[in-house]
Amino acid sequence: MPAKPVNPDLQKERNTATFDVREFSVLWAGGEERFKEKKALEKMFLEDPALQDDLPISYLSHKELYEHSLRKACIIGEKIRKLRADGEDGVDTYNALLGGSLGAAILKEGNPLALHYVMFVPTIMGQGTMDQQVEWLSKAWDCEIIGTYAQTELGHGTFLRGLETRADYDASTQEFVINTPSLSAYKWWPGGLGHTANHAVVVAQLYTKGEFRGLAPFIVQLRDSDSHRPMPGIDIGDIGTKLGMKGVNNGYLGLKNVRVPLNNMLMKNQQVLPDGTYVAPKNSVLTYGTMMFVRCALIRDTAQSLAKASTIATRYSAVRRQSPIDPNQPEPQIMDHTTQQLKLFPQIAKAIVFKTTGDGIWNMYNVISGEIEQGNLDRLPEMHALSCCLKAICSADAAAGVETCRLSCGGHGYMDCSNFPTIYGMTTAVCTYEGENTVMLLQTARYLVKVYGQALNGEKLVPTVSYISDAINQSKFVNFDGSLRSIVKAFQFVAANKTRIAYEQIELRRKQGHGTEVSANLCGTFLTAAADLHGRAFLAQTAYTELTALSREVSPELAEVLKVVLELYLVDACLNRIGDFLRFIDLTDQDVTQLEVRLENCLKRLRPNAVSLVDSFDLHDRVLDSALGAYDGNVYEHIFESTKKNPLNKEPVNGAFHKYLKPFMKAHL
Amino acid sequence: MPAKPVNPDLQKERNTATFDVREFSVLWAGGEERFKEKKALEKMFLEDPALQDDLPISYLSHKELYEHSLRKACIIGEKIRKLRADGEDGVDTYNALLGGSLGAAILKEGNPLALHYVMFVPTIMGQGTMDQQVEWLSKAWDCEIIGTYAQTELGHGTFLRGLETRADYDASTQEFVINTPSLSAYKWWPGGLGHTANHAVVVAQLYTKGEFRGLAPFIVQLRDSDSHRPMPGIDIGDIGTKLGMKGVNNGYLGLKNVRVPLNNMLMKNQQVLPDGTYVAPKNSVLTYGTMMFVRCALIRDTAQSLAKASTIATRYSAVRRQSPIDPNQPEPQIMDHTTQQLKLFPQIAKAIVFKTTGDGIWNMYNVISGEIEQGNLDRLPEMHALSCCLKAICSADAAAGVETCRLSCGGHGYMDCSNFPTIYGMTTAVCTYEGENTVMLLQTARYLVKVYGQALNGEKLVPTVSYISDAINQSKFVNFDGSLRSIVKAFQFVAANKTRIAYEQIELRRKQGHGTEVSANLCGTFLTAAADLHGRAFLAQTAYTELTALSREVSPELAEVLKVVLELYLVDACLNRIGDFLRFIDLTDQDVTQLEVRLENCLKRLRPNAVSLVDSFDLHDRVLDSALGAYDGNVYEHIFESTKKNPLNKEPVNGAFHKYLKPFMKAHL
């Protein structure tokens, strides 16, 4: 990677690493073969000059950025076509190109064609009949048509039953008449909807024979296939600038008496017959599958965000020197300040734990979705509850972690050339989309409270919540010896008690005469706290199990490093919830001080390997796209280069001087 | 304010308020007279069509935004000139126009002329001799010259002694020769430096007669006063795009053998005689004054950020309806969800408490700086310590609060038309500038540890830290009865114990053989935690004292509301640090549950007045600049209007379709 000589402070860090970076990189990539595939894809995409930017995109206007993004999206689309023709279009390649690190290296503010590949095509596959798939899929795969998925509305998000868009079946012409009856019914947010897609799956309230039937998906043509002009009755455009996702072309859509043929309703699960007879779906549970799938994938994305941010901040902290520790010594690498270590190293540890958990839950999802397809829905609620709270916790922690990393780089982190602002914009978005985090935690909590009632009745609980039964049978937590195992156990004990309190508080409100739902709302903050602890207990348990298992498989040198990562993660997680620990477990002031000293000690032990750990994430310089985080560590040179690209600096005197400033300065002379 | 009929849900909230909004507004503004001045200024500036934007600035490129900002800055400058001519240029007007809410309404991404007024002019006033003031000030006041203040460098920020820029006195020509000897010595960050200012105060390491003398400020001409071209030896430009402050024209500056006359060194505090003899300053303490002044002002700014963000989110939460609480009822205003209340209401309370504390500390600053001018430096360290930790805590809490408000608005908060992204960018910047927050906390902690040693020796402590002596004499906190007063006392007890632990840990490291400074670094996380609690204890105490006093002066109706605000603030603050409370004070699980139930209860009591409380902040629609937060609450209409201004939507088909997308779609046909 390095073109210039590596900054000596950074080189020194690499020279003194105690483990083999490549060993961990291969592990991180998912094995030797995946590692090689990754490198090959990087070569194919990142070395293509057509996919490189001369001008950093932060200098483009919104309109210019859209045009720029569409151009690159088409080049990527062309390459995907080629990969498909060669039979090399695995799911991993897709993920890497559209959502993953490679996609972010090419289109860091998002791809206006992404929803075509990740929502439009899969929806037709999942909800279209065989005939419908034959009709639409080849056109969609070949990008003869470009689609998106239009569900949320200006006035309606999470609560799907509140959607206003309606489709009325007209048996006389065998058509649906689709309308957005008010401004708040306008479809809002779909990626690529603004000016890119010419088709969409539109989700609407279905009415046949004058009766309401529930939600259904319809394929609607939005724009003329030749002129790209909006079709009659279609009011469409881009929703405007945003905190992030700036290249995605999120759009709005109003529909006024738009007629689509009967066969444009996707009918795999439910049907409308030509005369308007409605055939209800057999199983409404199936849609849970997709949502869980997406949330599991998001957990891995949050790990990637933390990996990026911690790589940038750690390398910068090895190069930047500031504020003597000893006034008689020169300014140290800022990474030698303990306060700086406390900002950086927990983020590195979280990146590793979230990745491990993301992989684990992905496997769990595959097992359970296999069971579901066999008609066994036993573990669906458990899996749903887990995916909800983990999505919320990992996205919130990752967004906060990215900001901690940015702030740890002082003023320079605030510059766009650090890439932190973009990474934050993309990461914090995950807190909102695919189920807003608070709603997610409430979903998990609802499950936990139900399970708590079952445990009280002596029912046997499924694996991921069985700790609740254990806690009920154990009024006091007695064996806190500070071992990692006992921290994990303590986390579970604490989580069970948070669920207990939520349960008891709801019961109390009910006894006071409130209904169940009103009681649950009054106890909202108890519920989200319980769900938070459930997720954190699961993360602690998974980190412990998986990293301990991994340590047995790798070289002793890497195992030693992973042990420090695990201890740092668990001690830090425990101290971050120390109020809950002290509330339910007898710990003294001295116990807490000991944990704090132990944290300091973990930081000290991680310090020599910090740079090499982030090197192991093996993030290409193009993926990082950061003057502060480049592999060669020539931080100041890269910042200065980026400044020289600034269009404002192309002229020594800006025109506004003559136009505004000079007349103002000379006004009274 | 309202032009359209107010949204009925919002009107309903206003109709049911239990207090007089105007009463609180006048109080918030600082009295009847200030309230009227505020309204007059708003009329003068916000109704001027030349200061209004047709196109939201988020659609401009970086270069366009600069030109746009400079145009408006000149119009504001012209108005300031007129106000001065009329004798109406009080400090408050300045603050409002350049930093405060009015300035933000006109130039929400900052003003490229701001540093001229708030740093260049004051530095000449503070550090120039009478003769130098005569020479430079009238030109600067009249804006014949435009200046900025160039201190931080690409490689050097907080640690001033590390600056590399040097000024060598050449007695033969009676000039200083100024150089930035390396890339990391380049001046970096000064506002307006890029293309706006033609002068700067440059801070450099002074050498005379070959000897190093310390830092000194020099007036350097950067650009030709007529052509605005950079002067010889000057390498200058804009540093590029950033997370926020996008209109400020932050610049870089390299100097190569730039010669300035002897008299361009500002010599009030230290002098260089023509032969190169150096006369050292009498008192280096004086520079602390300016830093404290700025930090005290920043605390009020953070209150303003929270006021803005909570106004937007609260009004939106009254209008937005989502997710039934009772499945048989329609979707409620989202403000009826307890979880939503927990996001919003603590931010409202913090806005009020930070404002009150900011005003209080401002008065304290004035008293102490009066004492300092009299030569009495007794309270300087105390004031310095307090201003450091409060700056850190209030900026960090405000930035987090803004994000909490944004996230509480779901996807719509992510749109720039909500104005949250800009408010966040401006607010989080405060965590870094004027002393990075961690460095600030360490400064405070250094003072606390010293004071702790004094207390152990039985010395009498100054008022704001006297609680430390109290705690030393009281091994156990016995009287926690849940009253607000006892929460405040408990905060102080907890803070004292955090300082104790930091002190003990440092002593322990010293006994282990580390030097004092190395020990302090090892204990960095103990130190920042102690400083954090010190600041929070002060906030709790101030909130309690000031709001209780205020309640006695206002109408009983308003007093009632302020009492709820105070209780909410204190209970929430306590629960946010419950780990520390449980660590040092005997509280049971039930005590904590009671506090949690009490928090829920505070939220419920504040609910009916939430909208009216934020109305009382009296933020003009132009100050809020938010589709979600407008006074009339026509949220969806405002969002849609903003979308219609999007330049991408001016053409039904974007040119990139023909250029890229169509060829891609038709490629294989």
pLDDT-wise least confident of B52-61, B292-301, B333-342, B440-449:
B292-301
CB-CB: which of B338, B524, B654 is closest to A522?
B338
Task: Give the Cα separation of B599 and A552 in Å (integer).
Answer: 48
- Active-site choice (A371, A434, A507, A560): A434
B600 touches chain A (CB under 8 A): yes
Please report the residues numbered 84 through 143 in chain A whose beta carbons come closer than 8 angstroms to any beta carbon of chain B.
142-143
Among A90-99, A233-242, B438-447, B468-477, the least confident range: A90-99
CA-nearest residue to B422 within chain A is A243
Q: What is the pLDDT of residues A234-251, one digit of tens each?
A: 999 999 999 999 999 999
Contact B227, A666 (CB under 8 A): no
Among candidates A237, A331, A642 on the partner chain, residue whose Cβ is nearest the Cβ of B159: A331
Interface of B with A in 508-547 (CB under 8 A): 515, 517-518, 521-526, 528
Active site (annotated) includes residue A64: no
Cβ distance B410 to A432 less than 8 Å, yes or no, reads yes
pLDDT in tens, B261-302: 999 999 999 999 999 999 998 766 556 677 888 898 899 999
C-beta separation of B210 from B251 below 8 A: no
A545 is in an annotated binding site: no
Is the model's pLDDT at A286 over the cut of 70? no
pLDDT digits (tens, 9 = 90+) for B68-127: 999 999 999 998 888 888 887 666 677 777 777 888 899 999 999 999 999 999 999 989
- Compute CA distances B482 → B316, B394, B479, B595, whole Å: 34, 25, 9, 8
Query: Across the strands, what pairs with A242?
Result: B415
Single pTM value for the model: 0.97
CA distances from A396 to A131, A306, B506 (A): 42, 11, 34
Is the distance from CB of A402 to CB of A427 less than 8 angstroms?
Answer: yes
Write phi, then psi, for A202 (nearest 5 degrees).
-105, 125
Hey, are the CB atoms on A242 and B648 less than 8 Å from each other?
A: no
Interface of A with B in 545-584 (CB under 8 A): 577-584
User: In which element (H, E) is residue B90 found?
Assistant: none
Partners of B278 in the β-ladder:
B272
CATH number assigned to the domain with residue range B22-111, chosen from the 4 options 1.10.10.10, 1.10.540.10, 3.40.1280.10, 3.40.50.720: 1.10.540.10
Q: Is B356 exposed, middle or buried (0-12, 13-18, 19+ CB in 10 A)?
A: buried
Could B654 and A195 be called an inter-chain contact, meaning their C-beta atoms sit closer than 8 Å? yes
Q: Mean pLDDT over residues A427-456, rounded?
A: 97
Q: What dihedral do alpha carbons A109, A112, A114, A119 form, nearest 10°?
A: 130
C-alpha distance from A218 to closest chain B C-alpha (Å): 22
Q: Which residues contact B17 (CB under 8 A, 6 or more apart)?
A: B608, B609, B611, B612
* Residue A631 confidence (pLDDT) above 70: yes
Q: How far is B657 from chain A (nearest CA, A)?
A: 7
CB B552 within 8 A of CB B545: no
Contacts of B477 by beta carbon, 8 Å cutoff, 6+ apart? B489, B490, B493, B584, B585, B586
Find which of B57, B224, B590, B664 to mutate to test the A interface (most A CBs within 10 Å of its CB): B664
Helices A524-553 and A380-408, interaxial angle, to 10°? 80
Q: Report the DSSP pairing between strands B251-255 and B234-238.
A: antiparallel
Q: Which residues of B touch A525 (CB under 8 A)?
A: 338-339, 342, 596, 599-600
Q: A88 has which bridge partners? A: none
pLDDT score for B3: 64
What is d(CA B178, CA B152) in angstroms, rounded to the nearest whole number?
Answer: 15
What separation in angstroms does the CA of B212 have from each of A501, B209, B285, B664? 66, 9, 20, 66
Residue A229 is encoded by which pair of tokens?
């002009």
Q: Average pLDDT of B54-58?
A: 95
Tens digits of residue pLDDT in A34-70: 999 999 989 989 989 999 988 999 999 999 999 999 9
Q: What is the spatial distance between Cα A383 and Cα B344, in angstroms, rounded to a whole number?
A: 31
Please state which CATH number belongs to domain A147-281: 2.40.110.10
Closest C-alpha among A362, A585, A384 to residue A490: A585
Which of A68, A339, A439 is the best residue to mutate to test the B interface, defined by the most B CB atoms within 10 Å of its own CB? Answer: A339
Write out the binding residues of B: 152, 191
Portion of chain B with pLDDT greater than 90, in percent:
85
Whether B415 and chain A come into contact, CB under 8 Å, resolves to yes
Q: Across chain B, how many H-helices and E-strands are there? A: 27, 11
Strand partners, A234: A255
pLDDT digits (tens, 9 = 90+) for A184-217: 999 999 999 999 999 999 999 999 999 999 999 9
The mean pLDDT value for B158-180 works out to 96
**Average pLDDT over chain B, rounded to an integer:** 94
A669 confidence band (pLDDT: 50, 70, 90): low
Render pLDDT for A340-376 as a digit per residue (tens, 0 to 9): 999 999 999 999 999 999 999 999 999 988 888 888 8
Identify which of B143, B665, B668 has the shortest CB distance to residue A664: B143
AA identity, residue B164? E
**What number does CATH give the domain A290-615?**
1.20.140.10
Q: Is A592 left (phi over 0), alpha (psi -120 to 50) or beta?
A: alpha
**CA–CA distance from A206 to each of A184, A199, A235, B363 (Å)?**
18, 19, 21, 65
Task: Tell me if chain B has a CB within 8 Å of the CB of A432.
Answer: yes
Rounded CA-CA distance B54/B60 in Å is 12
Distance CA A610, CA B466 (A): 42
For the record, the structure tokens of B549 come out as 């006093």
Which residue among B62, B242, B403 places its CB closest to the CB of A648? B62
pLDDT tens-digit readout, A130-163: 999 999 999 999 999 999 999 999 999 888 889 9
In sequence order, the β-bridge partners of residue B153 are B156, B187
What is d(CA A125, CA A339) in angstroms, rounded to the nearest whole number? 51
Looking at residue B11, its amino acid is: Q
Contacts of A359 (CB under 8 A, 6+ apart): A300
Contacting residues of A for B415, CB less than 8 Å apart: 239-243
Q: Strand, helix or coil at A236? A: strand
Say yes or no for a CB contact (<8 Å) between A648 and B61: no
One DSSP character per residue, B274-303 reads TT--EE--S-TTHHHHHHHHHHHHHHHHHH
Which of B227, B239, B243 is nearest residue A421 as measured by Cβ atoms?
B243
Paired sense of beta strands B175-179 and A271-272, if any: unpaired
Question: Would you say how long chain A is, in residues?
Answer: 669
- Residues B168-194: b if buried by 16+ CB within 10 A, e if exposed: bbeeeeebbbbbbeebbbbbbbbbbbb
Chain-centroid distance, C-alpha A29:
18
Give the span between the Cα atoms of A229 and B456, in whole angstroms. Answer: 80
Average pLDDT over residues B54-64: 96
Q: What is the pLDDT of residues A550-591, one digit of tens each?
A: 999 999 999 999 999 999 999 999 999 999 999 999 999 999
pLDDT of residue B284: 62
In percent, the amount of chain B with pLDDT more than 70 equals 98
What residue segments make up the domains of chain B, in order of their start? Answer: 22-111, 147-281, 290-615
The pLDDT confidence band at residue B374, using thresholds 50, 70 and 90, is confident
Lowest mean per-residue pLDDT among A76-90, A245-259, A649-663, B36-50: A76-90
**Confidence at residue B1, expressed as pLDDT on a 0 to 100 scale:** 44
Give the list of residues 6+ apart from residue A546 with CB closer than 8 angstroms, or none. Answer: A356, A357, A360
Closest residue in chain B to residue A579, using alpha carbons only:
B579
